[in-house]
Amino acid sequence: MDELAIQIILGISVASVPLIFAAIGELVVERSGVLNLGVEGMMIMGAIIGLVVQYHTGSGLLSVIAAMAAGMLMASIFAFLTQLFLTNHVATGLALTLFGLGVAAFIGKNYSDITVTRISALHIPWFSDLPVIGSLVFGYDPLFYLAILMVFLVWWFLFKTKRGLILRAIGDNHDAAHAIGHQVIRYRVLAILFGGGMAGIGGAYLSLVQVPMWVEGMSAGRGWIAIALVVFASWQPFKVIVGALIFGGISILQLHAQAFGVYIPAQYLSMLPYLMTIIVLVSLRIGSKSNTNRTMPNCLGKVFHSTS
C-alpha cells in the first residue's frame, strides 16, 4: 500500500478518537433522556487540564485521569442544575459550553507557549513491525484502543445488563420507570457524569496526542459534531465509530486535498466538517418523518418532575 494512503488512514483514525469518546459519552446521556449541549465545554476543559497535569507531572496516565475528572466536574454542574433545580436542558448545556470555553481560555494563558510530551503510539513486539498491518492495526496510542473498547463496553452495558435496560427505560418513559420504583435522578446523574468523563478524555486527546500544546479554542466545534454523531448513529454505539470515521475523514482529507491536485481555498475546506454536520442533521430530520423505527429516547430533553 502506498505510504501516503497509510498516513491518510492513520490520520483519519486518530482524528476520529476525540469524536468517539465525546459521542459515546453523550450517547449514554441521551439514552437516559437527558440532552447535554455542554460537550464542547467539557472537552475544552479536559484539553487544558490534561495538558497542565502533563506539563507538571510528565505522566500521561495522570493527565488522562485529571482530564476525565475535569469533564466530570463540569458535568456535575449540569447535573446539579438540571436534575435538582430542574433547569432547561438546552439553556443549561449552552451555558456550560460558554463557561468551559471561558475558564479554559483563562487557565491556558500561562501555557500558550509550551509543548508537552506526546502520548506516543504503542509498540507491540513483532506485531507492530508487520508490513502495512503493523501500522494500520498495531500502530496507535493507548487512548485509541480505549476509545474502541469503550464503544463495546457501552453496547454491552446498554443491551446486555439489567441496569442498561433500566437506563433505556428511563429515557423512553421516566414517569413509568419512576412509578415502578427506579431512581430516575440517580441514573441520570451517573449517566451525565459518565458523559462528562468521556468528553474530558476526548479533549485530552487533542492536547496530548493530536497537538501536544495548548491552543485556545482547540476543540474547534468537535463537541457539537459529537452531538450530531449521536443522532447520525441513531443512538446505537457501534454506528458512532462509523460516523466518527466519516467526520474524521473529512477533516483529514481537506488537509490532503491540495496534494491530490484539488485547489480549493483553505477557508472552504475548513468548512467541510461543519457543513457535513448540518447536512447530516437536516437529512436525518427529514428522514425521521417517514421512519418510525428510529431509536430516539421519547423523554429526551424533558424535565423529570418527581411526585415523591
Q: Burial of 173 by CB count in 10 Å (0-12 exposed, 13-18 middle, 19+ buried)?
A: middle
Q: Smallest Cα–Cα separation from 64: which of 218, 214, 201?
A: 201
Q: Burial of 255 by CB count in 10 Å (0-12 exposed, 13-18 middle, 19+ buried)?
A: middle
More confident residue, 77 or 282: 77
In the prediction, which pLDDT does 99 show?
A: 96
Q: What would you report as the CA-atom Rg of the chain, rounded to the nearest whole angstrom?
A: 20
Lowest mean pLDDT among 31-35, 56-60, 133-137: 133-137
The winner for highest mean pLDDT among 48-52, 218-222, 243-247 is 48-52
Report whether pLDDT(2) > 70.
Answer: no
The CA distance from 70 to 232, in Å, is 27
Report whether pLDDT(308) > 50.
Answer: no
The CA distance from 233 to 32, in Å, is 16
In the prediction, which pLDDT does 134 show?
A: 75
Q: Which three cell numbers stand for residue 226?
A: 459529537
Q: Which three cell numbers stand for residue 288?
A: 425521521
Q: Please give the average per-residue pLDDT across 133-151, as a whole number.
A: 88
DSSP 3-state of 58: coil
Residues in CB range of 143: below 8 A, 6 or more apart = 17, 21, 64, 119, 201, 204, 205, 209
In the prediction, which pLDDT does 292 show?
A: 47
Mean of all residue pLDDT scores within the chain: 87
Q: Please give the average per-residue pLDDT across 34-38, as a whole number.
A: 95
DSSP 140: S
Domain 3-288: give its CATH code: 1.10.3470
More confident residue, 24 or 302: 24
Residue 204 phi, psi dihedral angles, 5° rounding: -60, -30
Q: Would you kindly state where each structural domain of the chain is located, as residue ranges?
A: 3-288
DSSP 3-state of 1: coil
What is the separation of C-alpha 115 from the centre of its chain, rounded to a whole number of angstroms?
24
